[in-house]
Every structure is written in structure tokens, then in C-alpha cells.
Amino acid sequence: MSNLAIPVGERIREAMSRLNWTEDRLLEKAGLTGKLNVSEIEKGIREPSVHELSLLADALRVDFYDLLYGPLRKRPPVKWRAMPEEEPEFWAEDFLRNCERYHFLERLEGQCPEDKLCELRSSSPVTNKRCAQRLAKTVSEPLRLGRRPACALRDVLEADYGVKIWHGTHGSGASTYGDFGPAVLLNAEHAPWRRTFSLAHELFHLLTWSNDGAPISSPEWPKRTENLADEFAANLLLPRDELIPAFERLVHNNTILYLHLVNLAREFGVSTEALMIRLRNLQRLTSEDVETTLGDERFKELDRQSMPEKWTSSPPPFPKRFVELGFAAYKKGNLSRGRLSEFLSTDRGDLNQVLSQYGLDEDQDCAGELTAH
């Protein structure tokens, strides 16, 4: 019996504890129910096959080689805006593994972006709305988001600040900061404007990652932090100097049409609710007007009618740059076809079909090169 079995069993047990999983749950997720006994592996009685270890590693959301040789990497915390209703630990580990894979491909291709986001981090704790407003104003200039920040935020964070932006179907949003850099998880099933607001909300957490400004043990602090993140997002996406003139141009005889409000929300790339709450906070609408309008069926119908034109197809499951890095590494011979398929959660036979969704073809010739000067 190999000496490998015992430490592998210990690492399996450690990974299970991260997920709060029982042995039965692990075997169910790995598709090995009735075929394997984790306790026997842990005791060195049974040595798993390579195929079984691969299934276990995938289910546990750890790297196969980490599970085989160890130690398991210590992972950073994931901050959820609203946790998934089922198995939040699993989806956090899934998110972190994706970020680690992304960073692996960056290193493989020699394209690790500089963490410029740390330069924008708040130097002092953000403890109230005024601080959150000030932070939004401070970062808006270096981010260079333009007059309609929502339209540029994602591209700027990905291209210029190396933020890894993933999409999933669990939870309303999450963020983390690790050796792989800053990363955000958004819900692909949400409306585009809600995803954008969530991105700005999570940006607040990234900018205050080490400066939450109050003890975590304080029971009211998580809710306060989320409120401050919303305040930051509203100020970043709906800057006062742009929003007020745009709003006032639509006001006639101290009134504004529902249609104009809806169009203004679409123009700024936010929900009508976010727009109206921001206008209320800027004292351009009363709380009563906001509540009445948001509850009016005529307003709701206009809002719904405006959505299809702006609601593009759901985002793809993987960031485009992640897929392109993996594809480039594969074409250069630095990443196996099987490994690329694993990273893209597909079988080898379906790899080209997945790549085609990103405008890539496994058979295309990538040999041409130019000399840069």
C-alpha cells in the first residue's frame, strides 16, 4: 500500500470540512456513491485511482495536484451581498477555484496584470454615508468612467485594473481579494442594470477590503457595510454633477413624465428604483413621490416595455479573457487539451463548440507573429 493514501485522505477530509460536507454528500457530488469509502482512504486501507481522485477534486473544488500532493492552499474569504440559499460554502469555493485557475493561466502566458486597484483603496475606514460619497468621488476620476459610468465600469475594471469578473447563478453578488488579485461574482440571471449596480457595490468592498471601519463582531455592522456599499454605488453610477442637469432638462412646470424617468434610468444604466432613490437623496423627489410612482402600474408597465431593447443576452459563463488565455496556452502547447476542457467545464469532444461561443476555433492557425517595437 502506498504511503500516499493517508495524506490524500487527510486532505480530502480537510476539503470536506471547508464545505461542511459529510462523506455521503461528497460521494454523491462526485458520483461515487457505493464505489468508494473516504474513511478507508484516510486510514490507508484503500488507495483511490487517478480517475476517482479527479472526480473528488472536482467535487471539492480543489486542484487535482493539490489534493494529490498537498498542501491545500489557504483561500481568502468571500464576502457575499446575499448568500446563496443552498451550500454557500460550495459556491464560494467554486468562485475561488475559478479565480485561481484564471491566475494560473495569466502566469502561464506571462500576462499577470498589475494590481492597480490597491492604489485606489481607502486610506481610512469608511464608517458613514459621507465617507462612502467621498470615496465614490475620489475614485471616479482615476477610473475615467465618463459621463455615464455604468456603461464603462465593467470594461475599465477588467482591462485597466485586473478585476476578475465572473458570472454565476447563485447569490446576488460576492467579492474577494487573494493572491490572484481582486475578483467579483455577479448573478447572470439578474437584469443588466442590476448586475452593474452589484458590480459597483462589490467595488466598494474591494476598495475597503482591509478597512471595514468597525469590529466584525458588531452585530449591526454587516448591514451597515452593505448600506454604505449601496451609497457608494449610487454616487459612482449616478454622479450628482451629471444626474441633476440631465433630470432638470426633463422637468416642465415642476413635473416630469413617467416615460422620461424610465428613459433616464436606461440612459444611466441603472434600475428605475435606484434612479428614484438617488433623486430622492438629492432632494429632487420626495419620499412620497418615489413610493407612489414605484407602486403605480402605469409606471411599472413603461419600465417593462423599455427593458427588451437594453437587455442583451445573458453573459457567457466564463470571462472572455480567461478563455482566450487558456486557448493561447493550449495552442502553444503549454496547456493540454484535457486541461483546457476541464477549465471550461466541458468534455473534450465538445471543446470546439464551447470555444466557438467566444469566437475561437480549435483548428484555426495561430502561428503568425509580429515583432513588437
Name which of 36-40, 160-164, 206-210, 314-318 the model is least confident about.
Answer: 36-40
- pTM, two decimals, is 0.90
Q: What sign has the CA pseudo-torsion 354, 359, 364, 368? A: negative
Q: What contacts 179, CB < 8 A, 6 or more positions away? A: 103
**For residues 360 and 327, is the Cβ–Cβ distance under 8 A?**
yes
pLDDT of residue 366: 63
pLDDT of residue 214: 43
- CATH homologous superfamily for 5-74? lambda repressor-like DNA-binding domains (1.10.260.40)
Band (213; pLDDT cuts 50, 70, 90): very low
Band (34; pLDDT cuts 50, 70, 90): confident
Q: Give SS3 for 22.
A: coil
Q: Which CATH architecture has domain 117-237?
A: Orthogonal Bundle (1.10)
Domain boundaries, the chain: 5-74, 117-237, 240-310
1 pLDDT above the threshold of 80: no
Q: pLDDT per residue over 348-367, tens digit each? A: 999 999 999 999 998 876 65
301 pLDDT above the threshold of 60: yes
pLDDT of residue 195: 95
pLDDT of residue 3: 54
Strands 181-187 and 79-80: unpaired
Q: pLDDT per residue over 241-290, tens digit each? A: 999 999 999 999 999 999 999 999 999 999 999 999 999 999 999 999 99
Task: Please tell me if the domain spanning 5-74 has the same topology as the one spanning 117-237.
Answer: no
Q: pLDDT per residue over 312-332, tens digit each? A: 778 888 999 999 999 999 999
What mean pLDDT do residues 41-46 have?
79
Burial readout 45-81 (b: 16 or more C-beta within 10 A, e: otherwise): ebbbeeebbbbbbbbbbbbbebbbeeebeebeebbbb
pLDDT of residue 363: 80
